[in-house]
C-alpha cells in the first residue's frame, strides 16, 4: 500500500523538478510547509484546550488569560463574536494547510472542493467578526493595530473573491497561487504570535514596545509584517519557481530555509511560553 502511494509521488516529484536547483527550491518549500503545519496543529490544540474546554466548563474568565477583553460580563454580542471567532480559527488552522497540499487535491478532489468552500467561508466570517471585535469592542495595540488588522481583513476578503473567481473559471494555476496568498493573510494572527515569541526569545525581555499598552515601534512593524512579509516571501518563491535561473533558485531556497528555521524557533517559543502553559 505504501509503495503504491509513495512511488507515484516520488516519480511525480522528479518529473516536476528536473534540475538540482529545482529540487532544492522544492525541498525548502516542503520544509517550510512541514514546520508551519506542525505549528498550526499546536495552535489548534491550544485554542481547543484553553477556550473550548473553559467554554464547556463555564469558566469564561479563563478566556482573559491570554486575550485581554476576551470575555466581558454582560457583553453578550461581543462574547458570542469572540467565541465564534475562536471556533472558526481552530477550524481554519487545520483546513488551511490541508487545502494547499497539491497531491491531496489530486487524490481526493471532492474533499479539496468542500474543504475549500469551508475555508473561504470561515475566512470571511472570521474577518467580519474581527472587524466587529476591533472597532466596536476594541482591541489592544491602539489605532495602528486596528488599522493593520483592518487591512489584513480587507486582503482576506479580496483574496477570497479572487480565489473563488479563478476556481469557477477553471483557471487552476491562478487559483492555486491566490489560494496560497489567501493562506498567508489568513494566517496573519498565527504569524504574529510566532514572530512575537521569536523576538522575545532573542531579547529575553520586552524590547521595542510597552508591555502595559502593547504598543511600540516593534509591534507597529509586526502588526503589518505578520501578513506582508509572508506575502513578500511567497512572491519571491513564485518568481524563483517560474522565472529565476540557478543562482536565483538556490538563493531563494536559502532565504526560505533560514526564515523557516527562525519560524521554528518562534513556534517553539510560542509553544513553551504561550500555548502549552495554558493547555490543561
pTM value?
Answer: 0.87
The pLDDT, as a whole number, for residue 214 is 86
Q: Is 226 left (phi over 0), alpha (psi -120 to 50) or beta?
A: alpha
Cell of 169: 473559471
Q: Is residue 195 part of a domain?
A: yes
CB 28 within 8 A of CB 257: yes
Q: Is residue 7 part of a domain?
A: no
Q: Is residue 78 part of a domain?
A: yes
28 CB-contact burial (10 Å; exposed 0-12 / middle 13-18 / buried 19+): buried
Q: Is residue 59 part of a domain?
A: no
110 CB-contact burial (10 Å; exposed 0-12 / middle 13-18 / buried 19+): exposed
Q: Is residue 14 part of a domain?
A: no
pLDDT tens string, the chain, 280 residues long: the values are 334 434 544 455 555 666 889 999 999 999 999 999 999 999 988 888 777 666 665 556 665 565 656 556 666 666 666 677 777 888 898 989 999 887 788 888 899 999 999 999 999 998 998 888 788 876 777 889 999 999 999 999 999 999 999 999 999 999 999 999 999 999 999 999 999 999 999 999 999 999 888 899 999 999 999 999 999 999 999 999 998 899 999 999 999 999 999 999 999 999 998 888 876 6
State the DSSP code for 189: H
Q: Is residue 4 part of a domain?
A: no
CA-CA distance, 180 to 272, in Å (whole number)? 28
Q: Is residue 265 part of a domain?
A: yes
Nearest alpha-carbon partner for 38 in 268, 196, 254: 268
Task: Compute CA distances 265 → 31, 243, 278, whole Å.
Answer: 14, 31, 19
Domain count, the chain: 1
The pLDDT, as a whole number, for residue 191 is 97
Neighbours of 131 (CB within 10 A): 17
Cell of 5: 502511494
> What one-character-per-residue DSSP string does 41-59 give?
HHHHHHHIIIIIHHHHHT-
Q: Is residue 46 part of a domain?
A: yes
What are the residues facing 215 on neighbouring strands?
A: 210
Helix (H, G, I), strand (E, B) or coil at 99: helix
CA-CA distance, 113 to 95, in Å (whole number)? 11
Q: Which residue has the cell 453578550?
A: 76
The pLDDT, as a whole number, for residue 77 is 64
Domain of residue 170, residue span: 20-53+67-278
Sign of the dihedral through C-alpha 207, 212, 215, 216 = negative
Amino acid at each position: 500500500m505504501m509503495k503504491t502511494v509513495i512511488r507515484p509521488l516520488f516519480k511525480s516529484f522528479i518529473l516536476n523538478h528536473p534540475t538540482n536547483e529545482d529540487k532544492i527550491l522544492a525541498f525548502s518549500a516542503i520544509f517550510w510547509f512541514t514546520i508551519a503545519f506542525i505549528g498550526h496543529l499546536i495552535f489548534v490544540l491550544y485554542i481547543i484546550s484553553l477556550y473550548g474546554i473553559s467554554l464547556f466548563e463555564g469558566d469564561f474568565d479563563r478566556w482573559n488569560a491570554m486575550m485581554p477583553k476576551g470575555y466581558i460580563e454582560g457583553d453578550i454580542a461581543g462574547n458570542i463574536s469572540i467565541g465564534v471567532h475562536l471556533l472558526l480559527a481552530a477550524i481554519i488552522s487545520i483546513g488551511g494547510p490541508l487545502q494547499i497540499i497539491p497531491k491531496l487535491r489530486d487524490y481526493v478532489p471532492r474533499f479539496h472542493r468542500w474543504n475549500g468552500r469551508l475555508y473561504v467561508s470561515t475566512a470571511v466570517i472570521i474577518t467580519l467578526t474581527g472587524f466587529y471585535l476591533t472597532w466596536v469592542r476594541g482591541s489592544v495595540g491602539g489605532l495602528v493595530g486596528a488599522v493593520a488588522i483592518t487591512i489584513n481583513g480587507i486582503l482576506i476578503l479580496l483574496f477570497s473573491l479572487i480565489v473563488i473567481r479563478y476556481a469557477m473559471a477553471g483557471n487552476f494555476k491562478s487559483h492555486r497561487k491566490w489560494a496560497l496568498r489567501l493562506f498567508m493573510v489568513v494566517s496573519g494572527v498565527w504569524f504574529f504570535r510566532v514572530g512575537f515569541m521569536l523576538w522575545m526569545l532573542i531579547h529575553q525581555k520586552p524590547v521595542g514596545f510597552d508591555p502595559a499598552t502593547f504598543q511600540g515601534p516593534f509591534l507597529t512593524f509586526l502588526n503589518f509584517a505578520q501578513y506582508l512579509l509572508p506575502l513578500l516571501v511567497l512572491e519571491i518563491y513564485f518568481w524563483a519557481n517560474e522565472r529565476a535561473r540557478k543562482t536565483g533558485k538556490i538563493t531563494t531556497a536559502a532565504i526560505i530555509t533560514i526564515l523557516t528555521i527562525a519560524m521554528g524557533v518562534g513556534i517553539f517559543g510560542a509553544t513553551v511560553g504561550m500555548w502549552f502553559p495554558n493547555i490543561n
